[in-house]
Amino acid sequence: MVEPVRPARIWYQSFVHPIEQAPYIARLQAELDRVAGPGVRFEVHGLDPPDRFFHPLTEFRCAAQTIRLALEAERAGYDAFVIGHFQEPGLLEIRGAVDIPVVGLGEASMLAALTMGRRFGLVTIDPVFVDWHERQVRAHGLEARVAGVRAIRTALARFMSAFVDEAAYARVRTEFAEQVRPLVAAGAEVVIPAGGLPMLLFTRECPFIIDGAVVLNGIATVAKTAEMALALHRLTGTAVSRRGTYAKASPECVNEFLGAHW
Protein backbone atom coordinates (compact mmCIF):
# COMPACT_ATOMS: atom_id res chain seq x y z
CA MET A 1 0.00 0.00 0.00
CA VAL A 2 1.29 3.45 -0.94
CA GLU A 3 1.42 5.76 2.04
CA PRO A 4 -0.41 9.08 1.54
CA VAL A 5 1.74 12.18 1.19
CA ARG A 6 1.45 14.29 4.32
CA PRO A 7 0.10 17.84 3.97
CA ALA A 8 2.77 20.37 3.06
CA ARG A 9 3.53 23.45 5.16
CA ILE A 10 5.15 26.39 3.38
CA TRP A 11 6.55 29.31 5.38
CA TYR A 12 5.72 32.59 3.60
CA GLN A 13 7.96 35.37 4.88
CA SER A 14 6.44 38.81 4.47
CA PHE A 15 8.49 41.90 5.34
CA VAL A 16 5.72 43.87 7.06
CA HIS A 17 5.11 44.04 10.81
CA PRO A 18 2.94 41.15 12.06
CA ILE A 19 0.92 43.40 14.42
CA GLU A 20 1.05 46.89 12.90
CA GLN A 21 0.08 45.52 9.48
CA ALA A 22 -2.09 42.66 10.76
CA PRO A 23 -4.95 43.49 8.32
CA TYR A 24 -2.54 43.12 5.41
CA ILE A 25 -1.19 39.85 6.82
CA ALA A 26 -4.75 38.56 7.13
CA ARG A 27 -5.58 39.53 3.53
CA LEU A 28 -2.41 37.91 2.26
CA GLN A 29 -3.15 34.73 4.22
CA ALA A 30 -6.68 34.63 2.81
CA GLU A 31 -5.40 35.02 -0.75
CA LEU A 32 -2.81 32.28 -0.28
CA ASP A 33 -5.51 30.03 1.20
CA ARG A 34 -7.60 30.72 -1.91
CA VAL A 35 -4.91 29.82 -4.43
CA ALA A 36 -3.21 26.98 -2.54
CA GLY A 37 -3.46 23.54 -4.05
CA PRO A 38 -4.90 20.51 -2.22
CA GLY A 39 -2.75 19.40 0.69
CA VAL A 40 -0.75 22.64 0.80
CA ARG A 41 -0.85 25.22 3.59
CA PHE A 42 0.93 28.55 3.36
CA GLU A 43 1.65 30.22 6.70
CA VAL A 44 2.38 33.96 6.57
CA HIS A 45 4.95 35.43 8.96
CA GLY A 46 5.96 39.06 9.38
CA LEU A 47 9.21 40.79 10.40
CA ASP A 48 9.85 42.72 13.60
CA PRO A 49 11.16 45.30 12.94
CA PRO A 50 9.76 45.34 9.40
CA ASP A 51 11.22 46.76 6.21
CA ARG A 52 10.30 50.41 6.77
CA PHE A 53 13.16 52.72 5.75
CA PHE A 54 13.56 51.84 2.03
CA HIS A 55 17.34 51.66 2.07
CA PRO A 56 19.93 48.97 1.19
CA LEU A 57 21.01 48.92 4.85
CA THR A 58 17.48 48.00 5.87
CA GLU A 59 17.37 45.31 3.19
CA PHE A 60 20.64 43.92 4.58
CA ARG A 61 19.21 43.84 8.11
CA CYS A 62 16.03 42.15 6.85
CA ALA A 63 18.15 39.61 4.98
CA ALA A 64 19.90 38.61 8.21
CA GLN A 65 16.53 38.21 9.97
CA THR A 66 15.13 36.20 7.08
CA ILE A 67 18.11 33.84 6.96
CA ARG A 68 17.60 33.07 10.64
CA LEU A 69 13.89 32.51 10.08
CA ALA A 70 14.53 30.18 7.13
CA LEU A 71 16.84 28.07 9.29
CA GLU A 72 14.16 28.07 11.98
CA ALA A 73 11.50 27.07 9.45
CA GLU A 74 13.52 24.09 8.23
CA ARG A 75 14.21 22.92 11.77
CA ALA A 76 10.51 23.29 12.62
CA GLY A 77 9.60 20.91 9.81
CA TYR A 78 8.36 23.29 7.12
CA ASP A 79 8.60 21.86 3.62
CA ALA A 80 9.48 25.03 1.69
CA PHE A 81 10.26 28.70 2.30
CA VAL A 82 9.04 31.74 0.35
CA ILE A 83 10.73 35.13 0.53
CA GLY A 84 7.58 37.20 -0.02
CA HIS A 85 9.46 40.43 -0.70
CA PHE A 86 10.24 41.37 -4.30
CA GLN A 87 13.81 42.44 -3.53
CA GLU A 88 14.34 38.97 -1.99
CA PRO A 89 17.42 39.86 0.12
CA GLY A 90 19.13 36.75 1.46
CA LEU A 91 17.90 34.47 -1.33
CA LEU A 92 21.37 33.23 -2.27
CA GLU A 93 22.46 32.73 1.35
CA ILE A 94 19.27 30.90 2.35
CA ARG A 95 19.48 28.48 -0.57
CA GLY A 96 23.00 27.72 0.54
CA ALA A 97 21.96 27.18 4.16
CA VAL A 98 18.84 24.96 3.98
CA ASP A 99 17.84 21.85 2.07
CA ILE A 100 14.15 22.69 1.60
CA PRO A 101 13.07 24.55 -1.56
CA VAL A 102 13.42 28.35 -1.32
CA VAL A 103 11.46 30.61 -3.67
CA GLY A 104 11.91 34.36 -4.08
CA LEU A 105 8.98 36.58 -5.03
CA GLY A 106 11.04 38.63 -7.49
CA GLU A 107 12.76 35.76 -9.25
CA ALA A 108 9.59 33.67 -9.50
CA SER A 109 7.62 36.59 -10.94
CA MET A 110 10.24 37.53 -13.51
CA LEU A 111 10.78 33.97 -14.71
CA ALA A 112 7.02 33.46 -15.01
CA ALA A 113 6.72 36.70 -16.98
CA LEU A 114 9.18 35.34 -19.54
CA THR A 115 6.75 32.52 -20.33
CA MET A 116 3.96 35.01 -20.97
CA GLY A 117 5.71 37.52 -23.21
CA ARG A 118 9.04 38.34 -24.82
CA ARG A 119 9.80 41.36 -22.61
CA PHE A 120 8.54 42.53 -19.24
CA GLY A 121 8.68 45.69 -17.18
CA LEU A 122 8.65 46.41 -13.46
CA VAL A 123 6.71 49.06 -11.57
CA THR A 124 8.06 49.40 -8.05
CA ILE A 125 6.52 51.08 -5.01
CA ASP A 126 9.11 53.83 -4.58
CA PRO A 127 11.77 55.45 -6.81
CA VAL A 128 14.49 54.43 -4.35
CA PHE A 129 14.05 50.81 -5.47
CA VAL A 130 14.58 51.43 -9.19
CA ASP A 131 18.34 50.98 -8.95
CA TRP A 132 17.92 47.92 -6.69
CA HIS A 133 15.61 46.24 -9.20
CA GLU A 134 17.90 47.05 -12.11
CA ARG A 135 20.73 45.30 -10.26
CA GLN A 136 18.37 42.47 -9.33
CA VAL A 137 17.46 41.96 -12.99
CA ARG A 138 21.16 41.81 -13.92
CA ALA A 139 21.88 39.39 -11.09
CA HIS A 140 19.28 37.01 -12.52
CA GLY A 141 20.74 37.46 -16.01
CA LEU A 142 17.51 38.86 -17.45
CA GLU A 143 18.53 42.34 -18.59
CA ALA A 144 18.03 41.53 -22.29
CA ARG A 145 14.36 40.75 -21.64
CA VAL A 146 13.46 43.82 -19.55
CA ALA A 147 11.85 46.89 -21.08
CA GLY A 148 12.50 49.04 -18.03
CA VAL A 149 11.86 49.74 -14.36
CA ARG A 150 9.59 52.55 -13.25
CA ALA A 151 8.12 53.61 -9.92
CA ILE A 152 5.09 55.06 -8.25
CA ARG A 153 5.40 56.85 -4.92
CA THR A 154 2.78 55.52 -2.56
CA ALA A 155 3.19 55.45 1.21
CA LEU A 156 2.26 52.35 3.19
CA ALA A 157 -0.77 54.11 4.67
CA ARG A 158 -2.12 54.83 1.18
CA PHE A 159 -1.76 51.20 0.21
CA MET A 160 -3.61 50.13 3.33
CA SER A 161 -6.42 52.58 2.52
CA ALA A 162 -6.62 51.30 -1.04
CA PHE A 163 -7.58 47.85 0.22
CA VAL A 164 -10.78 49.16 1.81
CA ASP A 165 -11.58 52.48 0.10
CA GLU A 166 -12.64 52.53 -3.56
CA ALA A 167 -11.50 56.11 -4.16
CA ALA A 168 -8.07 55.36 -2.71
CA TYR A 169 -7.86 52.21 -4.83
CA ALA A 170 -8.74 54.17 -7.96
CA ARG A 171 -5.97 56.70 -7.28
CA VAL A 172 -3.32 54.02 -6.78
CA ARG A 173 -4.50 52.16 -9.88
CA THR A 174 -4.32 55.34 -11.96
CA GLU A 175 -0.78 56.10 -10.76
CA PHE A 176 0.24 52.53 -11.53
CA ALA A 177 -1.26 52.66 -15.04
CA GLU A 178 0.59 55.92 -15.74
CA GLN A 179 3.89 54.10 -15.14
CA VAL A 180 2.84 51.03 -17.12
CA ARG A 181 2.21 52.90 -20.37
CA PRO A 182 5.83 54.00 -20.99
CA LEU A 183 6.94 50.40 -20.36
CA VAL A 184 4.44 49.13 -22.93
CA ALA A 185 5.69 51.75 -25.38
CA ALA A 186 9.22 50.42 -24.75
CA GLY A 187 8.15 46.87 -25.64
CA ALA A 188 6.87 45.33 -22.39
CA GLU A 189 4.27 42.63 -22.98
CA VAL A 190 4.00 41.73 -19.29
CA VAL A 191 4.17 44.15 -16.37
CA ILE A 192 5.04 43.10 -12.82
CA PRO A 193 4.00 45.13 -9.77
CA ALA A 194 7.36 44.93 -7.97
CA GLY A 195 6.17 44.42 -4.41
CA GLY A 196 3.89 42.25 -2.34
CA LEU A 197 1.62 45.18 -1.45
CA PRO A 198 0.64 46.17 -5.01
CA MET A 199 0.54 42.53 -6.07
CA LEU A 200 -2.01 41.73 -3.39
CA LEU A 201 -3.93 44.94 -4.03
CA PHE A 202 -4.40 44.16 -7.73
CA THR A 203 -5.47 40.53 -7.30
CA ARG A 204 -9.04 41.85 -7.42
CA GLU A 205 -8.65 42.42 -11.18
CA CYS A 206 -8.76 39.18 -13.13
CA PRO A 207 -7.51 39.49 -15.76
CA PHE A 208 -5.62 42.75 -15.29
CA ILE A 209 -4.59 44.19 -18.66
CA ILE A 210 -3.32 47.69 -19.44
CA ASP A 211 -2.83 48.74 -23.07
CA GLY A 212 -2.70 45.09 -24.05
CA ALA A 213 -0.01 44.15 -21.52
CA VAL A 214 -0.74 41.54 -18.88
CA VAL A 215 -0.21 42.67 -15.29
CA LEU A 216 1.18 39.63 -13.52
CA ASN A 217 -0.51 38.25 -10.41
CA GLY A 218 2.66 37.72 -8.40
CA ILE A 219 0.97 36.25 -5.34
CA ALA A 220 -0.57 33.38 -7.28
CA THR A 221 2.66 33.02 -9.25
CA VAL A 222 4.95 32.65 -6.24
CA ALA A 223 2.49 30.29 -4.55
CA LYS A 224 2.35 27.96 -7.54
CA THR A 225 6.11 28.22 -8.04
CA ALA A 226 6.62 27.12 -4.44
CA GLU A 227 4.20 24.24 -4.88
CA MET A 228 6.02 23.12 -8.04
CA ALA A 229 9.42 23.41 -6.34
CA LEU A 230 8.15 21.31 -3.46
CA ALA A 231 6.63 18.68 -5.75
CA LEU A 232 9.89 18.40 -7.70
CA HIS A 233 11.87 18.18 -4.48
CA ARG A 234 9.70 15.29 -3.31
CA LEU A 235 10.06 13.52 -6.65
CA THR A 236 13.77 14.06 -7.22
CA GLY A 237 15.21 14.70 -3.75
CA THR A 238 16.94 17.82 -5.06
CA ALA A 239 16.13 21.49 -4.45
CA VAL A 240 19.24 23.19 -5.86
CA SER A 241 22.63 22.30 -7.25
CA ARG A 242 25.40 22.26 -4.64
CA ARG A 243 28.09 22.61 -7.30
CA GLY A 244 28.84 26.31 -6.91
CA THR A 245 26.37 29.15 -6.40
CA TYR A 246 24.34 27.35 -3.74
CA ALA A 247 27.12 25.28 -2.16
CA LYS A 248 25.89 24.03 1.21
CA ALA A 249 27.10 25.89 4.27
CA SER A 250 28.78 23.65 6.84
CA PRO A 251 27.14 23.17 10.25
CA GLU A 252 30.00 25.19 11.74
CA CYS A 253 29.28 28.03 9.32
CA VAL A 254 25.58 28.01 10.21
CA ASN A 255 26.24 27.87 13.95
CA GLU A 256 28.69 30.75 13.71
CA PHE A 257 26.06 32.81 11.88
CA LEU A 258 23.39 31.99 14.44
CA GLY A 259 25.75 32.82 17.29
CA ALA A 260 26.74 36.22 15.92
CA HIS A 261 25.50 39.37 17.67
CA TRP A 262 24.09 41.76 15.08
Q: What are the residue boundaries of the structural domains of the chain, listed by start?
A: 8-259
pLDDT digits (tens, 9 = 90+) for 160-215: 889 989 999 999 999 999 999 999 999 999 999 999 999 999 999 999 999 999 99
pLDDT at 2: 55
Phi-psi region of 36 (alpha: psi -120 to 50; beta: other; left: phi over 0): beta
pLDDT at 154: 78
CA separation for the pair 9, 135 (Å, rounded)? 32
260 in Cβ contact with 67 (< 8 Å): no
pLDDT digits (tens, 9 = 90+) for 73-103: 999 999 999 999 999 999 999 999 999 999 9
68 in Cβ contact with 258 (< 8 Å): yes
The pLDDT mean for the chain works out to: 94
pLDDT at 1: 56
Using pLDDT thresholds of 50, 70 and 90, give the confidence band for residue 262.
low
Q: Does domain 8-259 fall into CATH 3.40.50.12500?
A: yes
CA separation for the pair 140, 133 (Å, rounded)? 10
Using pLDDT thresholds of 50, 70 and 90, give the confidence band for residue 260.
confident
Phi-psi region of 238 (alpha: psi -120 to 50; beta: other; left: phi over 0): beta
Using pLDDT thresholds of 50, 70 and 90, give the confidence band for residue 153.
confident
